[in-house]
Structure 1
Amino acid sequence: MPVVELVAAGYAYEDGPAVLADVGFGIPAGRALVLLGRNGAGKTTLLRLLSGGLRPGSGELRLDGERVRHDRAGLTRLRTSVQLVTQDPDDQLFAASVEQDVSFGPMNLGLPEEEVRARVAEALAALDIEVLRDRPTHLLSFGQRKRAAIAGAVAMRPRVLILDEPTAGLDPHGQERLLTALGRLRELGTTVVMATHDVDLALRWADDAAVLVPGGVRTGPVAELLADGELLAAAGLRLPWATAVAGLLRERGLLAPDAPAPRTPEALEAWAAAAR
């Protein structure tokens, strides 16, 4: 059973056409899942529906198989399990220091001070920003603000962490540090969902993919979906470079049809060294 799930869900903004219609989409525990689609395809809307920020115009949202009520009690129950981090960290950072910001959510749960401190320390360590604990949030770099915003969500100890374009605006070094932090969260048992239009990142990072196409969502193993040229064309996406390279290698008989394809430049280099 998915942890959180949309069933026959639809949504339209006021005075606008439907953004999503009859969507069925669930997030299983323990998998790294990437949500892919062109800009304007409805990725952010879908994430806000899953996290309770928007209420489905039709269909319903379920948590552990039970319908989520969009009242105070229902949304509190949802947000102890599911946390969304938006694309712009400045939408979520508002306290004077990193520690104060990260502690805000646990304090609102009415937890004892000792428990709040433990959660803050745990979140800062998971995102590798302990040294920023007392830093004013307005003095952080963009990448530091991204990780601080994620730490605030992690301090809630959600079962599902949803990230909207988390690597947008980061340089390559910042992306690597963030991906390392996300790997650490997965090791601690958090299910991580990432929305992006970066197919190379998706193939490298995710176990499963959900691809937004006109008329719905296609889900499955990331390597399988991102090798489907017709699906990617319908979604306005391109083939990942690794998939294109693997296809070329197979055409030339250099890679067996059932052999796993290298997903990163490092993996390709290692394959080439072994094949010499």
Structure 2
Amino acid sequence: MSEPVLVALRGASFAYEDGPVVVDGLDFEVRGGRALALLGRNGSGKTTLMRLLSGGLRPRTGELTVEGRAVGYDRKGLTRLRTTVQLVVQDPDDQLFAASVGQDVSFGPLNLGLSDVEVRARVDEALAALDITALADRPTHLLSYGQRKRTAIAGAVAMRPRVLILDEPTAGLDPDGQERLLATLDGLRASGTTVVMATHDVDLALRWADDAALLTPSGAHTGPAAAMLARTDLLGQAGLRLPWGIAAAELLRAQGLLPAAAPGPRTAEELSALTTARTGT
């Protein structure tokens, strides 16, 4: 892949105090312009990996780099990292704390020491990007779950990161909320933000991601999403099932309805359009 490496762990190891090693000698890259899905069973190290990438944890060995430069864990180094990488945790209630939506979203930019004019511009931009401008003055405790999710993401977006890492962003959302959030993420990607999404949903990963990283006991395995999510050996190690789109593509090819080199369907709509085109019904 020719895309530049924005953030990388090199030979990283980490263990929690009095606990087993979670990450050992890991090499992991996030490349610009690629939507990356991070998948693995519970306890596989997804959360640890995300916190290492965002500076919330420091590797015991190895290093974290941003555009090839090692990250320092002093105030200057972490500020540089957090203007490049932002992590949004799974439960928005672990991230929201201010009285109103606007105040919460403004917290990060204010901590950068920006002018009031610049902070206001960033807040307005982030609220618009997440389609919650009308909620700017709403108390955070009166928000729905989906609105709280969007507010938490807006707080990260207001930092204008080049890499946005999301932990299970669609968990707890109804189908309409999921679709709206995915459309928002597409907009962020179109504006130049690289998005990393941790998820257990292999069908979502196949549909959404350019690349997939499967966390297994033998390490992280990363490559094009369709190819990685067809690897039944790695899926088994990661505690994941085969995406239905991969299984459907195999069936269509066996029936002569899909050329061997053609991409398979990623959504039910794509499957319907494909079978209609092939069968004429």
> Which TM-score applies when normalising by structure 1?
0.99
Matches within 5 A, 1:74-223: 74-223=77-226
The residue type equivalent to 2:157 in the other structure is V
- Paired residue for 2:49? 46
Equivalent residue for 2:40, pick from 3, 13, 37: 37
- Secondary structure, counterpart of 1:184 in structure 2: helix
Q: In structure 1, what is the Cα distance between the partners aligned to 2:269 and 2:257?
A: 18
Equivalent residue for 1:18, pick from 14, 17, 21: 21
| Percent pairwise identity | 70
Q: In structure 2, what is the Cα distance between the partners aligned to 1:141 and 1:39?
A: 27
Q: Deviations over 1:120-146 (max 9, x none)?
A: 111011111111111100000011000
Q: Deviations over 1:161-217 (max 9, x none)?
A: 000111111111111111011011011110000001110000000001111011210
The residue type equivalent to 2:93 in the other structure is D
Equivalent residue for 2:68, pick from 65, 81, 86: 65
The residue type equivalent to 1:134 in the other structure is D
**Runs of 4+ in structure 1 displaced over 2 angstroms?**
none
- Show structure 1 runs of 5+ residues with no match: none
Q: In structure 2, what is the Cα distance between the partners aligned to 1:253 and 1:30?
A: 35
> Which TM-score applies when normalising by structure 2?
0.97
CA contact (8 A) 1:92 1:149 kept: yes
Q: Deviations over 1:38-95 (max 9, x none)?
A: 1111100000000000000111111111111111111111001000000110111001
Two-structure CA RMSD over aligned residues (Å): 0.8
Say which is worse superposed, 244-253 or 48-57, in terms of deviation: 244-253
The residue type equivalent to 1:216 in the other structure is G
Q: In structure 1, what is the Cα distance between the partners aligned to 2:111 and 2:19?
A: 35
The residue type equivalent to 1:206 in the other structure is A
CA contact (8 A) 1:21 1:215 kept: no
Shift of 1:10: 0.8
Shift of 1:100: 0.5
- Matched pairs, number: 276
